[in-house]
């Protein structure tokens, strides 16, 4: 597969997973590896669905307390309806018992904020 084919595969998978096309920043090594490896290879692997990978990613981000990236992934999940509100709630409850109550509490606050923003946007549409 040529470099341009790998890039296109990564861009397509990024858009599928995140819901938007990433910026094109020439010479950005981190963005290059994100698109060309993480999305073209890891997120595109045959063994897990995007939904499966999303659940794993959310659980890891919750446990590490990476609120900014968790917010980005939860927002993408909700906008693309990759997980329903009920499934997200179940994830939070499950996380509370296996990952810790504080982890789930912070994650729950982020979910509440995102739902409020979504509901407000829908009401104004």
Cα 115 from Cα 104, distance rounded (Å): 16
Q: If pLDDT is split at 50, 70 and 90, which confidence band does 26 have?
A: confident
Torsion angle, alpha carbons of 50, 55, 56, 58, to 10: 120
Is the pLDDT at 106 greater than 90, yes or no? yes
Stretch (H or E) spanning 34: none
Is the pLDDT at 22 greater than 80, yes or no? yes
Q: Output the CA–CA distances (angstroms, integers) from residue 70 to 14, 17, 42, 47, 101, in the order listed.
A: 16, 14, 18, 23, 16
The one-character DSSP state at 49 is -
Q: Which CATH class is domain 49-125?
A: mainly alpha
What predicted TM-score, i.e. pTM, was given to this entire model?
0.90
Residue 27 has a pLDDT of: 87
Residue 75 token pair? 């927002």
Q: If pLDDT is split at 50, 70 and 90, which confidence band does 63 have?
A: very high
Give the three-state DSSP class for 41: helix
Q: If pLDDT is split at 50, 70 and 90, which confidence band does 60 have?
A: very high
Please state the domain extents for the chain. Answer: 1-46, 49-125
């Amino acid at each position: 597969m040529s470099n341009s084919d790998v890039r296109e595969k990564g861009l397509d998978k990024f858009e599928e997973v995140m819901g938007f096309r990433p910026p094109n920043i020439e010479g950005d090594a981190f963005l290059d590896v994100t698109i060309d490896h993480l999305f073209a290879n890891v997120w595109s692997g045959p063994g897990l669905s995007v939904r499966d990978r999303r659940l794993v990613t959310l659980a890891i981000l919750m446990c590490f307390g990476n609120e900014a990236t968790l917010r980005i992934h939860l927002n993408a999940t909700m906008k693309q309806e990759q997980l329903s509100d009920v499934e997200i709630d179940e994830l939070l409850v499950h996380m509370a018992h296996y990952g810790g109550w504080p982890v789930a509490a912070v994650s729950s606050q982020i979910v509440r904020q995102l739902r409020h923003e979504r509901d407000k946007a829908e009401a104004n549409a």
